[in-house]
Structures are given as C-alpha cells and as structure tokens.
Amino acid sequence: MSLLPLIPLFPLVGAAACAILHARTLAARRRDAGAAQNERVVGAIATLAIVASFAVSVAGFFIIQHEPERRVAWIVSNWIPTGGQTIDFGFVLDPLSSVMCLVVSGVGALIHMYATGYMRGDKGYARFFTYLNLFVAAMLILVLADSLPILFIGWEGVGLCSYLLIGFWHENMKYAEAGQKAFVVNRIGDFGFLLAMFGAATWCVDAAGKGSFQFAAINESVLAGHVEPWQVTVIGLLLFVGACGKSAQLPLYVWLPDAMAGPTPVSALIHAATMVTAGVYLVIRMHPIFDASVLASSVVACVGAATALFAATMGLVARDIKKVLAYSTISQLGFLFLGAGCGAYDASFYHLVTHAFFKALLFLGAGAVILAMHHEQDLFKMGGLKRALPLEYRTMFVGAAALAGIPLMSGFFSKDEILGGVLAGRPVFGNEQINLVLYVVGAATALMTAFYTFRLIYLAFEGESRSNEHPHANPASMTIPLAALALLTIAAAALGLPSVFGEFKPLEHWLNPVLELGGESGNAAKAHGLSHSAQWLLLGASAAIAMIGYSLARATYGGGLAKSRARAEAMPGIYKTLVDRWYVDELYHAVFTKTLRLAGVVAGLFDAYVVDGAVNGVAASAKRAAAAARGLADGKLQSYSLWFGAGAVALVAAVLLLI
Amino acid sequence: MNDWILPLLVGIPALGALAVALAPAKRDGLFSLALLFCAAEAALAIFTFTKFDGTNPNEQFSFSRPWFALPTGAGEAVPVAFHLGIDGLSLLLVALSGLLAPVILLSAKGHIERREREFLVWSLVMIAGMQGVFLSRDLLLFYFFWEISLIPLYFIIGIWGGPRRVYATVKFFLYTLAGSVVMLIALLYLAYNFGTVAIQELSTKDIPVRAQLGCFLAFALAFAIKVPMVPFHTWLPDAHVEAPTAGSIVLAGVLLKMGTYGFLRLGVGMFPAAAVQCGPWIAGIGAAGIIYGSLLAYGQSDMKKLIACSSVAHMGTIVVGMFALNAAGLRGGILQMINHGLSTGLLFLLVGVLYERRHVREIAEFGGLAQVIPAFAVVLTVATFSSIGLPGLNGFPGEFLCLKGAFDASPLLGAAAAVGTVLGAVYMLSMLRRVAFGPITRGENQKLIDLNGREWASAIILLIPMVWIGLQPSLFIKPTEPAVDLLISQIEKGRRSLALENGASLKIANAGAAETGKSGGRR
C-alpha cells in the first residue's frame, strides 16, 4: 500500500519546514531585524503534520481489516546490499504496528498542540518543533519497520531526537550533559541490539539455510526450530540489552530521571508515552524468540519486576514533580516487561496503551502546573492549586487514579491483567514459585505506586499554598489536550476488560494474528487461564492495595508536610538512601566514568612514553649509530634516514632470504 | 575517448601545478586558477563515477603505454607500463579524491598567508599523486605515485605547519619512507622472480605460499604505517596537530586510505593465501586499534588530536571489515573509507574554522558556541553524528557492514569491534558538548563570526554525499559489488592453495613421523 510511507513522511516534511523557518528566524535575528518568529505558523505546521499522520493511520487501521492477514506491506528492495542477507527498506502495517501508529500520532498530535502553548515565547520555538516532528517521524519508522535494521533507523532516530530535546536548553551545561548521558547509555543498549541483529540474520535461517533481517522470517525460523536453542537465548538476551537501554530498565535506567531536563511536552511524548515503550514493543514484536527461550524470557520478567519495585521506591521521596513521574514511568515500564516476560503479551500491550494515555496526561498536567507556578518544580513549594487550576486538578486526578489503579479506571484493569498474567503465565525459570514471588513484587509496587501518586496530588493541589507565586491560568491550547487525554484514559478501560466482565476484549482479538504466532504458546498466560473466582480475588486484592496506598498518602500528606517530615526523621537512613537514589549514579560514576577517564589518561601516557618512545628510541639510536660510524657531527636528516632505511632494508632482505 | 579520462584525472591537477608555478598572476588570481583546475578535477571525478559500468568487475577506461624496462642480470628485461585503470575497488576513492580537491583549496584560503604559490603547487601535485595511486595498475607506477604523494605533504606540514612542524614532518616522512622501502624490496623481488610488475598479471600467478607470506608482510608493513594501525600510529596525531587545515583534510580524507586500499588491491589481491593466513591477526589488531584509539581520543584536550585519535579507531573499523574477508566486510570497508574521509574531513574543516578565528584548538577554550554561531554548531553536530554512525547519515551503512562482516567471520571479533560504537559516542559527544553547548565561558567567543560563504561551500560539498550515502547506500555499494566478488574468488583461491599447502606439509610431517617410528622400531 503506497499510503504507508506517508505516515512518517508528513512529520518529516513538517520537520523540514520548521527547520527552514528556524533558519529564517536566525538570519533575521542576525540582521537585527527584530522580527519575531511566527509562532502560529510553526505551531500549525508541526501540529497539522502529526494530525495528517494520524489521519493516515486511521485510514490504515480500516484498510487492514479487509486484508486477508490483516497486514499490508510496502518495500523498497535492496536498501543496503550486504552481500548476504539483503536489507530492504520495508514497512508493514499489521494489528500491532497499527495500534502503535494510532497511539504515537494520536497522543503525539495532542502533545504538539499542548506544546504550541507551552513553548510560547521561547527563542528556539521553531527549533523545538523541528526536533519534535523529527521525533514522531523516527518513532513511526520504528513501529512500521518490517526488519531489524529498519527498526534500528527509527530506534537511533528517536535516540537522536531525545538527545536534542533533553538538551534543548543547551545553554545549561547540566541539561546538555543529561542529553549526552541518555545517548551514551542508550548506545550501550544498542551494542546489544547490533549484535542481536547480526546473530538473528546469521543464525535464524529458513529451511533452505538462508537468513534474513525481517521479523517475519526470523520469527518463522525460530518457530520452525531451525535455530539452535543457545542461539535463540543469545539473541533474546542481546535484544533485551537493547530494550533495557531504550526502555530504561535496570541497570541502564539511569538516563531517564536526568532526561527530565527537557521541556515537559518532551517528557510526556518521548519519555513516557512513546519512545520508552519501544523496548517492550520490540519484545512483543519478536515474541517467538522469548517464547522459545526460558532463560531469556525469565530474565525479562525478573528484570522487569526488579525495576518496577526499585524505581517505585525512589518515587516515594522525590520532591521534583517531574522526577516522581519519571520514576513512575521506569516502574511502569518494568511492569510491562514483567508481563511480557511471563508471556502475557496482550496484557502488557494493553497496559502500554493505557499508560501512554494516563502518563502523558500526568506529564502534561505537571507541565501546566510548572508553567502556572512560574517554573517551580518542587512539590514542597506548591500546594492548594486546586482552586487556581481546577481543570488541571480534575484531569490530573483522573490520570493519578488510573496510575494508582483505583478501581474501574483503565490503569486498574490493565495492571490487574498483568498481575493475573504473572500468576497464570509460563513458569519463570521453569518454577511456578517464582511467579508467585514476582506477583508479590508487583503487588508491593502497586501499593507504592498508589502512595506516591496521591502524594503528588496532595502535595500539589490540596492543603494550603506553600509558595509566594501567584499561579496564572493556562491557555486553551494546553487545557484541551488535558481534557482529551483524560477522556481517553477513562475510555481506554474498555479495550481489555478482564474476562469476568464477558469476552469483550477488542484489543486482544485485534492483536491475535500477531500474538498467536506459534499457537497457544504465543499467549502463554491465556493458555493457562485463571478461573473467574481467582480473577475476582485478584481484582479485589488490587482494589484493596490501591485504596490502602491512597489512604496512606492521604493520612501522611492530607495535612501539609508536618507528618511526612516526622516520618522521614523517624527513619533517616532509609529516607536518605532513597533521596540519594540508592547511590547508583555515584556508583556508576565511580566505576564506569572514572575508570574510562583513567583508561583514557593511561592510554595517553602509554602511547606517549612506550609506543612513541619506542619509535623515537629507534630513530635516536639510528642517529647515534650513524654519528658514531661516520664520525660526523652534522649527520642530521640524511644519516637519520639512511640508517633507518638501511636497517629496514637489512631486516626485509633477511626475511626474504629466509623464504 | 573514454581512455583519456584516467590520464586526465592525474593530468589535470599536474597541469594545474605547472600552470600555477609559471603563471604571472598575483595572489588572488593564482588561487582562482588553482581552484579552476580543482573544480575541473572534481567534475571529471563525478563524471567518471556516473560513466562507470557498475556491473563490470574488471578495470575500465584503461590507459596503457609502455614506459620503460627494468633490466635484469639474466634473461629478459621486465617491462614497466604506464597503465591506469579503474574498477570497483578504486572507484569511490577516485571520486572522493576529486571531490576533496576544491575543499582542500577552499579551506586553505584563510590560513595560508605566505608563499601561496608554492602551497598551491604542492596541493595540486598531491592530488595528482593520490589519483595516481588509486589508478595505477602497474606495481612500479603505483610505487612511483605512492612516493610522489608523500613529498607534497612533507612540505605542506613543514612550511605552513604549527610550531613543532619540523619534528612532525621528519617523523611522518621517515616513518612512511621506512615502510615504503620495505615495500620496494618486495616489489623488486616480485619483478625479478615473476618477470612482471603488472598487478593483474601478478594476481593470476601462482605465487608459492611462503613467498606470498614474505611479500604480504613487507607490503603490510608499508600499509599498516600508512593506515595507520596500532602500534604504528604515533606519527598521525603529531602530523595532524602540526598540519594546516588543508593538510589535515587531505591526510585524513584520502592519504590514509592509500594504506587500506593497498591492503585490498595488493595485499589481498596479489597474495590471497597470505591474506587468509594473516587475516585474523590483522583484523584482531584492527579491533584492538578501535578500542585503543577510542581511549586515546577520550583522553585528549586538543580538538585536532582528538579527531586524529578517532581516525585511528575508525581506520581500525575499516581494517576489521576488510580482513573479515567476506562480502559484507569488504563492501563495508570500501564504503567506510569514503565515509571516514567525508566526516573526518568535515570535522577537520570545522576545527580549522575555529582555529582561523581564535588561533587555538583546545576544547576548553570554547563552550556555548551554539549560541554564538548556530550554523557552525549545526554542521558540527551533523559531522559528529555522521562520525558515530547514526542511521540516515553515511557512517551507518559502512560501519554496519564492517561490523556485520566481522560478526560473520567471528562473533567475538564483531563484539570487540562493536565496542567502538559505544566509545565513539562517548568521546565525540563529549567534544561536541564542551565546544558547542553550555554557557559561553570566554569573552573572546562572544563575537565569533558564523560560517562564511567559502566555508559553507566546502561544508556543503562534503554534506551532500554524506546525506546521500546515508539515504541511498545501495547507489554507492552496488558499483563495488562485482569487483568485491572478484576479490572474494581470489580469496577462495588463496584458501585453496593454503589448504593444499597445509595438506602437503601434513603429509610430509606424517611421513616424517612414520620414518622416526620405523627407525625407533629398528633400534
């Protein structure tokens, strides 16, 4: 279908147009023409580009319903002729990529609209929208790709835009450093991704012994058992290394909290709703590999669970409103991997979609609060905003309820589906006891999530104001997206209600052609299944957990900061450890950054004194020998070269004579 | 008609050198004259690229005239021909050299304030010499151009270079000369033992494996110094730091590729059995060079030295790809030679832009330049991401193929080489950040002037192919395919003769063992 390339093409053209407008603004500024940049034109171009993408995605969604396998492809063959497996430039729209396109362009369009208000007056307005449009284009390439290398284009493209947008206010060295950290940490993940890509192309062969970079061929090869089990495991683990970088999982999560340096719409779009889910998308896209390797899928599940819990602990004490949401994002991404690792791909993807809505909503709400408070991000300096910002309060409350898993909200159901999937899913490391442990970890994380989410709401909106600033109202361009996302957050529940509410599961049915590759094993969680009574029990437990977390937050923060201070003082050790983020950044700095710097210095010294010393030593001794032999004081260049040459000649002559 | 293309590719810059040397014009006139010749050279190089038949594995546009005969003590004299030809291995390098010719001159316009006529003459001679190296199909002619191209850079660094230019030039000159001398000996050995110096003919001869090994090692030393491979690399940072911008661009852009090209054309092409035998070792040294060069780069505070060390790492990637000795690696190696020339050439150009304005190259002297000179910062960002292999720019397809080739040869080699993708991001982004981002720390930088028309022109000449290769790599890989396939059949031949040799020696060893067994039994 020739419509497919249009999906990323619109934002790409939008980016180019914004770049040209930015160049014109710069030129005008240099001439001191003083012409203000035309923000309206830039904002309109950028937003409409994404809206156009969304429209094509919707069209695509309807078109593939009439296709036999619910998929259409578009290919330009032989993009890179490798001499072995060719790399075609191909897109495929199937149920999975189609939903991703809708979410990316849909949420992306809302965030673009929001950003036209948020970035008003910034001197890099057009530059911002250049990067933001470019990001959406790269993200759409990532989800549409039909092979690993094409996905990698998008993968690196979103990494570049993330780098540029985290360091958008580059005058601030801290922000620039945060951007660099994100890119470099992601490169560590990419190292795994690259090797996984080579391994898959070489090892995943078809019946005729031919390899391929294409997802379909790789999955088929694994399903047909043409690959050695250890090779499948290696590919799976390496892919997951890549996923850990992009989706901020242990031990590579450290870049994401720092990434909050970027403007808030960036955090909402890139570091919550879209880019960071790419790792999960990759795992779901290549799930036959994880289905085939117990080790790889178990590692995914355990790392996910560990990350979920670990990040949540840091969310409990963070004071920066965006950092709370950043830790929450890491934690929720951990949930997605936990579900995917146990084979509950549908649940994981369901939560991916609901999370995209409610986390984008929360970030945009946080941005509205920050802007209203004149760029104050410290929750301890807010309070009482409910009155001044009623719409922001209501919409953020909806987002918080979803994140905390308050019953009947979309996040409640999707999280519960993951937890149910963990219990019913394939045994982790072949041991069902471990599933039980992972469930408990997930439940504990859910408790913390409910607590820190409502902590945020109470600190920002309830009680008395702790600030001297008078909050100002936000423009409609910012509040409309908030309202729209709140509605989506509520409505998204319907995408995958648990089966106790009937077999109305549109998302799961829609995804079946992708998720049921390889039959039932492709959807391990469903294969086991949970009885209705067990499901009711889990739902009840989840509801209780959320309400306990909510009550704890209310009890602690309902009346200002006094109680929380007292609690923090009651356990200073734990509190400080959490505030200092378990000292992981310090540890990494000491172990990796310093070691690398030291290695650079040592290599420099070694190079200067040993390697170059030997070179100069040879030259000097040749010179001395020449001076001695010929008794000449002025034997500079000539003797130097003569003896050097003669020595070399003798050496090679000896070698040749020996032949 | 077509057979005059190649002599013209060498001849235009050579004639240009002559014209500039004799012309009566004043400074600006001289420069325009030289630029005219360079523009013609670039146009002809692009014309060659478009006219080239990408399906033909053999040399095209051949030009061959008898030159002289090498007398031998006994028997017939060895004929030496002035034989030029182009094929898939040299096509991209010829195009790159032509394209860089105007960039070299444009970059020098602001720097070279004295003895301009000499500078222009040497630059043009250098371009002629480089094209000669890539086009020669005769060993002695190759050697002739190889040496010719050495001399101009000696003068360019020695006369217009920095404060330690004498040390740098002597080191550079002697180091490379030492390698060349060794190569010459092997060359003469070949001439006297096989009665020819035609590269094509020597490639079809069945040279005994041990002789191949000796000759390969002799050539390899010359090439390893030129590339440069660790541990023969120390002349490069010194030469770069002292060289004027034009010298650095030509050094990184083309001159180093003479080494990697030599490895392909002569090392693998003529001595395939030896290449197969030594391949894993050379690839291993290349991988070590990637990591070592990256660490060196990370430790530098001088921008030029940093880029020079990054060249050591990037050339290591090329070597790893080539000595994977498979299709992906060879194609990647050839493409990556061009990519490195473009991105590193642009990086040196940009350092030159700053040096021209501030007369310093220390990273710490800058900071926050994106606020003052945004266009410069944009181009520097593009060059940086090209250098670290971002998809969509030229670095990606080349690096990808090199790494894939390495992985196919040995997953561990691929993994070791891929470490460079992480380290590359570390040192390049650190430099970009410290130069372009953060607050403006020095007052002198407040009033810097952004890229001017001349600088834009040279940047754009490099940027266009960078983006083009990134978006449509197949256009640049495809014409190299048949020649690479031919090289691979040569490698297969090498593998066979090596296996035969090993089989023979195994038989001898077995016979020997049987002999001793017998004698032992008798005792």
Q: A550-572 pLDDT, tens per residue? A: 999 999 888 778 888 888 888 88
Interface of A with B in 17-56 (CB under 8 A): 26, 30
Question: Is the minimum CB–CB distance between B475 and chain A shorter than 8 Å?
Answer: no
In tens, the pLDDT along A156-199 reads: 999 999 999 999 999 999 999 999 999 999 999 999 999 999 99
**Given an 8 Å threshold on Cβ–Cβ distance, is A171 in contact with B411?**
no
Kindly tell me if the per-residue pLDDT of A270 is higher than 70.
Answer: yes
Q: Read off the amino acid at residue A638.
A: Q
Interface of B with A in 322-351 (CB under 8 A): 326-328, 330-331
**Given an 8 Å threshold on Cβ–Cβ distance, is A176 in contact with B401?**
no
Contacts of B327 in chain A (CB under 8 A): 82-84
Contacts of B481 in chain A (CB under 8 A): 81, 83
Nearest to B418 among A81, A194, A597 (CB): A194
Taking the C-alpha atoms of residue B382 and residue B349, their distance in angstroms, rounded to an integer, is: 13
Taking the C-alpha atoms of residue A530 and residue A439, their distance in angstroms, rounded to an integer, is: 14
**Given an 8 Å threshold on Cβ–Cβ distance, is B178 in contact with A603?**
no
Average pLDDT over residues A329-348: 94
**Given an 8 Å threshold on Cβ–Cβ distance, is A641 in contact with B404?**
no
For residue B327, the chain A residue with the least C-alpha distance is A83
Distance between A651 CA and the closest CA of chain B, angstroms: 9
Give the closest residue to B320 by CA, choosing from B425, B416, B212, B426: B416
Taking the C-alpha atoms of residue A406 and residue A401, their distance in angstroms, rounded to an integer, is: 5
- Both tokens assigned to B457: 């022109």
Cα angle value B145/B146/B148 (rounded, 5°): 60
pLDDT band at A577, cuts 50/70/90? Answer: confident
Q: Read off the amino acid at residue B260.
A: T
Contact of B293 with B313, CB cutoff 8 Å: yes
**Given an 8 Å threshold on Cβ–Cβ distance, is A191 in contact with B422?**
yes
**How many CB atoms neighbour CB B21 within 10 A?**
14
Name the residue ranges covered by the structural domains of chain A. 368-579, 588-658
pLDDT band at A83, cuts 50/70/90? Answer: confident
Distance between B442 CA and the closest CA of chain A, angstroms: 14
Interface of B with A in 177-196 (CB under 8 A): 177-178, 181-182, 185-186, 189
Distance between A493 CA and the closest CA of chain B, angstroms: 38
Contacts of A19 in chain B (CB under 8 A): none
**Given an 8 Å threshold on Cβ–Cβ distance, is A195 in contact with B438?**
no
pLDDT band at A265, cuts 50/70/90? Answer: very high
Backbone angles phi, psi at B242, to 5 degrees: -85, -25
Taking the C-alpha atoms of residue B428 and residue A80, their distance in angstroms, rounded to an integer, is: 26
- Number of Cβ pairs < 8 A linking chain A and chain B: 182
Question: Which is more confidently placed, A333 or A495?
Answer: A333
Nearest to B437 among A78, A81, A170 (CB): A170
Contacts of residue B247, defined as CB under 8 A and 6 or more positions apart, other chains included, come to B153, B156, B157, B160, B161, B239
Task: Return per-residue pLDDT of chain B as tens, 523 residues.
Answer: 578 899 999 999 999 999 999 988 776 788 899 999 999 999 999 999 999 998 999 899 999 999 888 887 666 788 899 999 999 999 999 999 999 999 999 998 867 778 888 999 999 999 999 999 999 999 999 999 999 888 899 999 998 988 888 889 988 888 888 889 899 999 989 988 888 899 999 999 889 999 999 999 999 999 999 999 989 999 999 999 999 999 999 999 999 999 999 999 999 999 999 999 999 999 999 999 999 999 999 999 999 999 999 999 999 999 999 999 999 999 999 999 999 999 999 999 999 999 989 989 999 999 899 999 999 999 999 999 999 999 999 999 999 999 999 999 999 999 999 999 999 999 999 999 999 999 998 888 988 999 999 999 999 999 999 999 999 999 999 999 999 999 999 999 999 999 988 887 766 666 655 555 444 444 3
- Burial label for B519, CB within 10 Å (0-12, 13-18, 19+), is exposed
Interface of B with A in 387-426 (CB under 8 A): 390-392, 396-397, 400-401, 403-404, 407-408, 411, 414-415, 418-419, 421-422, 425-426
Taking the C-alpha atoms of residue B111 and residue B354, their distance in angstroms, rounded to an integer, is: 11
Contacts of B450 in chain A (CB under 8 A): 30
Contact of B379 with B451, CB cutoff 8 Å: yes
Question: Is the minimum CB–CB distance between A620 and chain B shorter than 8 Å?
Answer: no
Contact of B206 with B270, CB cutoff 8 Å: no
**Given an 8 Å threshold on Cβ–Cβ distance, is B292 in contact with A188?**
no
pLDDT at A658: 47
pLDDT at B27: 65
Question: Is the minimum CB–CB distance between A634 and chain B shorter than 8 Å?
Answer: no
Place of tokens 């996905």: A151
Distance between A186 CA and the closest CA of chain B, angstroms: 9
Q: Which of A607, A621, A642 to mutate to test the interface with B (most CBs of B within 10 A)?
A: A607
Contacts of A212 in chain B (CB under 8 A): none
pLDDT at A640: 52
Contact of A215 with A146, CB cutoff 8 Å: yes
Distance between A596 CA and the closest CA of chain B, angstroms: 8
Taking the C-alpha atoms of residue A482 and residue A111, their distance in angstroms, rounded to an integer, is: 9
In tens, the pLDDT along A391-416 reads: 999 999 999 999 999 998 999 999 99
Contacts of residue A544, defined as CB under 8 A and 6 or more positions apart, other chains included, come to none
pLDDT at B523: 38
Give the HSE-up count for residue A99: Cα atoms under 13 Å, Cβ half-sphere: 24
For residue B404, the chain A residue with the least C-alpha distance is A198
Taking the C-alpha atoms of residue A186 and residue A253, their distance in angstroms, rounded to an integer, is: 9
Distance between A652 CA and the closest CA of chain B, angstroms: 6
Contacts of B299 in chain A (CB under 8 A): 597, 600-601, 603-604
Q: DSSP alpha helices (H): ranges in B264-410?
A: 269-270, 272-298, 303-322, 327-358, 369-372, 374-387, 395-409
Terminal CA-CA length for chain A = 64
Taking the C-alpha atoms of residue A161 and residue A269, their distance in angstroms, rounded to an integer, is: 11
Q: Is the pTM of this model over 0.95?
A: no
Question: Is the minimum CB–CB distance between B46 and chain A shorter than 8 Å?
Answer: no
Name the residue ranges covered by the structural domains of chain B. 2-522
**Given an 8 Å threshold on Cβ–Cβ distance, is B411 in contact with A184?**
no
pLDDT band at A509, cuts 50/70/90? Answer: confident
Question: Is the minimum CB–CB distance between B218 and chain A shorter than 8 Å?
Answer: yes
Give the closest residue to A118 by CA, choosing from A269, A330, A344, A319: A269
- CA A28 to chain centroid, in Å, comes to 37
**Given an 8 Å threshold on Cβ–Cβ distance, is A82 in contact with B327?**
yes
Distance between B238 CA and the closest CA of chain A, angstroms: 11
Q: How far is CA B422 from CA B381, B389, B406, B417, B479, in A?
A: 17, 11, 17, 10, 31
- Both tokens assigned to B243: 């060289």
Proportion of chain A in helix, strand, coil states, percent, rounded to 5: 75, 5, 20
Do strands A87-93 and A72-80 pair parallel, antiparallel, or not at all (unpaired)?
antiparallel
pLDDT at A466: 85
Terminal CA-CA length for chain B = 78
Place of tokens 């991916």: A352
pLDDT at B512: 58
**Given an 8 Å threshold on Cβ–Cβ distance, is A656 in contact with B218?**
yes
SS3 of residue A17 by DSSP: helix
Taking the C-alpha atoms of residue B284 and residue A483, their distance in angstroms, rounded to an integer, is: 59
Contact of B220 with B282, CB cutoff 8 Å: yes
Q: How many residues comprise chain A?
A: 659
Taking the C-alpha atoms of residue B396 and residue A570, their distance in angstroms, rounded to an integer, is: 55
Contacts of B438 in chain A (CB under 8 A): 170-173, 176
Contacts of B219 in chain A (CB under 8 A): none
Question: Is the minimum CB–CB distance between A613 and chain B shorter than 8 Å?
Answer: no
Question: Which is more confidently placed, A326 or B115?
Answer: A326
For residue A26, the chain B residue with the least C-alpha distance is B374
Contacts of B217 in chain A (CB under 8 A): 655
